[in-house]
Amino acid sequence: MTSFTPVQLRLSAAQAQVLRDAAIAAYPRECCGLLVGGGDGEITVRAIVPTANVAADPHRSFSIDPQAQFDLLRKLRSGEPKQRIVGHFHSHPDGAAIPSSHDLAMAYDPEAIWVVMAASADGASAPKAFRHPAGYDGFIEVPVTMLA
Ligand SMILES: [Zn+2]
């Protein structure tokens, strides 16, 4: 029996639109970036930080630019109020808004929120959120509360 702390993600409608716009702009490549926020259990996103996708094959995978992550961590360390990187986002061009088996192979942080959008030539899906709890062999969906 595996137990994990339930988590919810709070996202504004404007932030959801920023995520969808990133997925559309990157298509047919995967977009990616970092989510900044705070809270435990109920995590509120405060900022969305798109980064370059430095994966060798950005049509099929994503890799967040490590320099951008380093710069953001350094900025957050000195910022007030205290915020942290709560997770990251990416898109699946011509795919589904669920983590792939490749994503599962890349998942190592049980606290990280994974936000995924499906993207196509016609647009992008609403963002969905997931987490890969420690000791659990897959992703679980994290309910997203959309704020006005
Ligand atoms: Zn993926």
Instruction: Identify the pLDDT of residue 3.
Output: 55
Q: How far apart are CA 119 and CA 25, in angstroms?
A: 10
Report CA(95)–ligand 1 centroid distance (Å). 9
CATH class for domain 8-147?
Answer: alpha beta
- pTM assigned to the model: 0.94
Look-up of token digits 């970092």: 34
Report CA(81)–ligand 1 centroid distance (Å). 31
Report CA(73)–ligand 1 centroid distance (Å). 23
Low-confidence ranges of the chain (pLDDT < 50): 1
Tokens of residue 56, six digits: 């060798």
Q: How far apart are CA 144 and CA 12, in angstroms?
A: 10
Handedness of CA 82, 54, 92, 3 (dihedral sign): negative
What tens digit of pLDDT does each residue of 2-44 get?
A: 556 779 999 999 999 999 999 999 999 999 999 999 998 899 9
Report CA(134)–ligand 1 centroid distance (Å). 19
Report CA(74)–ligand 1 centroid distance (Å). 26
Which ranges constitute the DSSP H helices of the chain? 13-26, 66-77, 101-106
User: Which residues face 144 on adjacent strands?
Assistant: 9
Instruction: Identify the pLDDT of residue 37.
Output: 96
Report CA(80)–ligand 1 centroid distance (Å). 32
Report CA(69)–ligand 1 centroid distance (Å). 18
Report CA(103)–ligand 1 centroid distance (Å). 5
Q: Where are the domains of the chain?
A: 8-147
CA 32 to mean position of chain CA atoms: 8
